[in-house]
Amino acid sequence: MSAGTEQSSGGAAIEDGTEPTVGRRAFITGTVAAATAAGATAAGGTAAAQGEAYQGWFDDVDNYEGTVDYRGEDEVTVAVGAGDAGVLFDPPAILVDPGTTVVWEWTGVGGTHNVVHEPGEEGEAAFESDMYESEGETFEFTFDVEEGIFPYFCSPHRAVGMKGAVAVGNVDDELIEPSGGGSGGDGGGGQPLTTVDRILAGSGLLIGVALILAVVRPDTLNPDRD
């Protein structure tokens, strides 16, 4: 336990047309293409950063979008059993200062869960909780190191991507500001954009393009107009 100290709650443990018109259309097409390319570039950049920081640890984690920056907080809470099926940690990746205590709090969804550090091929696990199922159970660990990355998982649901990581001091990844002004310890702060959020944003772009088309070529929406 050289990396820090851990503590569990007191509950019982259980085992994501004309020349001018053609020009306008070309402009609109170019705009959409540029937006699409920008989205692809952003996605690629995130994947590249992820590879550098976590070496593919989050490849199968649905709600991973980057690392939520909780530096400056003494205590941070991570939900255990997030998502519709209750098989996610939320937020999955966090950045904290040395000496910060991370509290994992069970939601009561998804069955029994635990929190287990993945030390790699060499070394011992720095922390491991008991198995809990009930809402409100907690497990905490204080990261008394200057710098490092601590990947972890839920033993029963590791195969379906229930994994997380705590980065201490610094991390080479896309940093996300916590929601609600950066308050740690509430279990709901720092949620990154989900796939649904991105789809909705894309739909808004398509609606904007349709409105532009209606302005530059109104006959496309009203062919009977003189």
- Note the pLDDT of residue 29: 38
Q: Does the pLDDT at position 78 exceed 70? A: yes
How many other C-beta atoms can be found within 10 angstroms of the C-beta atom of residue 14? Answer: 12
- Note the pLDDT of residue 217: 54
- Note the pLDDT of residue 123: 87
Look up tokens 């085992």; give the residue.
15
Q: How far apart are CA 156 and CA 38, in angstroms?
A: 38
Q: Which of 5-9, 34-38, 143-147 has the lowest mean pLDDT?
A: 34-38
The mean pLDDT of 51-75, rounded to a whole number, is: 94
217 against 19, higher pLDDT: 217
Q: Is the bond preceding 91 in cis, omega lying within 30 degrees of 0?
A: yes
- DSSP label at residue 22: H
Q: How many helices (H) and strands (E) does the chain have?
A: 2, 11
- Name the pLDDT band for 31 (thresholds 50, 70, 90): very low
Q: Which of 13-27, 117-131, 155-169, 195-209 has the lowest mean pLDDT?
A: 13-27
The mean pLDDT of 22-44, rounded to a whole number, is: 39
94 against 200, higher pLDDT: 94
- Note the pLDDT of residue 8: 59
Q: What are the pLDDT digits (tens) for 84-123?
A: 999 999 999 999 999 999 999 999 999 999 999 999 887 8
User: Exposed, middle or buried, 47 (CB in 10 Å: 0-12/13-18/19+)?
Assistant: middle
- Note the pLDDT of residue 54: 96
How crowded is the C-beta side of 14, counted as CA atoms within 13 Å? 9
Q: How far apart are CA 87 and CA 123, in angstroms?
A: 27
- Note the pLDDT of residue 134: 98
CA angle, residues 7, 8, 10, in degrees to nearest 5: 130
How crowded is the C-beta side of 195, counted as CA atoms within 13 Å? 6
Residues 149, 165 contacting (CB under 8 angstroms): yes
All domains of the chain, ordered by start, with CATH? 4-14+43-198 (2.60.40.420)
Residues 87, 61 contacting (CB under 8 angstroms): no
Q: Tell me the percentage of the chain whose pLDDT exceeds 70.
A: 57
Q: What are the pLDDT digits (tens) for 125-177?
A: 999 999 999 999 999 999 999 999 999 999 999 999 999 999 999 999 999 99
Torsion sign (Cα): 20, 25, 30, 32: positive
Cβ neighbours for 35, distance < 8 A, ≥ 6 positions apart: 205
Q: Which stretches of the chain are assigned E, i.e. beta strand?
A: 4-8, 67-69, 75-82, 88-90, 93-96, 101-106, 116-117, 138-143, 148-153, 163-168, 175-176
